[in-house]
Structure formats: C-alpha cells, structure tokens
Amino acid sequence: MAVDAEAVMEIGDYCYIADASLVCSARITLGAHVWVAGGVTIVDSDFHPITPAARLVDTIALSPIGDRQRRPPIEVLPVVIEDDVWIGYNATILKGVRVGAGAAIAPGALVNRDVPPGTYVAGNPARPVEPEAT
C-alpha cells in the first residue's frame, strides 16, 4: 500500500487483502468483509496527466532540473468498495469507481465505472455477466 501524506486509506472490519497494490492520492475506502485477491490493483488517480503535451510538461517538472510546483493538475477521484465485496486475482479498479455491496469482480477484470450492488462483473472493460456455475 502506498498512501500520500494527506490521503486517507480506510479499511473496514474483517477484510482480507492478499498481495495487492492499493495506491492512494486522496481516498480509498474498503467496507467490511471485503476480500481482495493477489495481484489486484486499486488506484484513485492516474498519477500523471492524460494528454501527451501535459505528460511532457509533467516529465520536465519531475526531472532533476525541473520544478515540481509546475506539475499540471492530475485528476484524483475517490474509490469506494462497499461491504461484502469479492475482488478476484489480478483485477484492477480505477479512480472514481464505487463497487456496491455484495458485488463480485472477476479475476483480471478492469473496472472503470461503478458496479451496482450484488452484480458480478468481468472483462476489459468490466461488464455485468452471469457467474459460471461450479
């Protein structure tokens, strides 16, 4: 886990977090009884500008001769994982996403939009699917 100095990482009761990467610039919230499998990534920012021109300005600002105060703005949006959520191996949850209570994220899914409560999502980008019977 990596949490910026002014950021808040909130983890509810009885959570299980395996070998996962949670990187927080502002706020990441995990409710109670959340299961996070190995290889999962949860981030609340892209940590760099999106447009090529802004990335170049950012690279110069971060260089040894640059001025970090001249970094372009970087979008940061909180991530909320509600209670009783299961996140499968190697899934990625991006900035601004809310995962509703009781939802499940399939292994390898890329979640870039909200997941309604009780929904199973899979794919890249993640979409609701019917879970396979085992």
Catalytic residues: 48
**Distance from C-alpha of 92 to C-alpha of 121, rounded to nearest angstrom:** 12
3-state secondary structure (DSSP) of residue 1:
coil
Which of 110, 103, 97 minimizes the C-alpha distance to 40?
A: 110
DSSP 76: B
Cβ-Cβ contacts under 8 Å for 101 (sequence gap 6 or more): 31, 82, 83, 84, 85, 117, 118
Q: How far apart are CA 123 and CA 105, in angstroms?
A: 9
Pairing of strands 127-128, 120-122: antiparallel
